[in-house]
Amino acid sequence: QSVLTQPPSVSAAPGQKVTISCSGSTSNIGDNYVSWYQQLPGTAPKLLIYDNNKRPSGIPDRFSGSKSGTSATLGITGLQTGDEADYYCGTWDSSLRAGAFGGGTKLTVL
Amino acid sequence: EVQLVQSGAEVKKPGESLKISCRASGYGFTNYWIGWVRQMPGKGLEWMAIIYPGDSETRYSPSFQGQVTISADKSINTAYLQWNNLQASDTAMYYCARHEWKSAAHWFDPWGQGTLVTVSS
């Protein structure tokens, strides 16, 4: 059982916006920055967001991140069928002295 | 270009030992942490361990402490993950990834292609 909680699945139509939540506690999200990863079917994960809201080079601005207290949110606008993937949040847990991932959220673009 | 290339798929029997590798290129290997992430079949990502090749300092998730060993050989820019007594429950895809650690900020980027480990009698 992960220390970070994500909804198992979300869905939306092409062109629409979706948000994925990641809930934690004061020892992880509350104390540390959050990152987000996209895992397309059959491929390795890829970094989407780091430092709560920064995008690496090459990641479109359709993807955004935010954090408030002990929760974080990934937003995706202008949904495309190619965005269908599993999305994971990640952070450090100061009590565990180790990192952690959320359980993952499967995005379906209807 | 920063690149991580992992060793190939492995098929082992319960009780056997195994060491998989991750060769880094395109950056100063001793200046960044590098780690391993497990993904069991049909399941999510699990943070396992990281190592700083510069001084071999390590951090393990409590879930994996004592179950695996992370190591690095800075002379050949390669990180390893080792088991001494494989179990069927170790069957999974294992990813290595460079781990950025800047104060309270941590993230993995880039990732290797993955090494599939199958443990079966």
Q: Tell me which residue in B46, B107, B112 faces A44 most closely, judged by beta carbons.
A: B112
Q: Which pLDDT belongs to residue B74? A: 96
Check B47 against A90: CB less than 8 A apart. Answer: yes
Residues contacting B46, CB < 8 A, separation 6+: A101, B37, B38, B39, B40, B61, B63, B64
Q: Which pLDDT belongs to residue A50? A: 98
Q: How many CB atoms lie within 10 A of CB A83?
A: 19
Question: Rounded to an integer, what is the distance from CA B36 to the centroid of its chain?
Answer: 3
Check A90 against B113: CB less than 8 A apart. Answer: no
Q: Is the pLDDT of residue A59 over 90?
A: yes
- Rounded Cα distance between B112 and A9, Å, is 26
pLDDT in tens, B9-49: 999 999 999 999 999 999 999 999 999 999 999 999 999 99
Check A32 against B107: CB less than 8 A apart. Answer: no
pLDDT in tens, A2-12: 899 999 999 99
Using a pLDDT cut of 70, give the percent of chain A over it.
100
Question: 76-115 in B: which are within 8 Å (CB) of A?
Answer: 95, 97, 99-100, 104-114
Q: Tell me which residue in B35, B105, B111 faces A45 most closely, judged by beta carbons.
A: B111
Check A50 against B113: CB less than 8 A apart. Answer: no
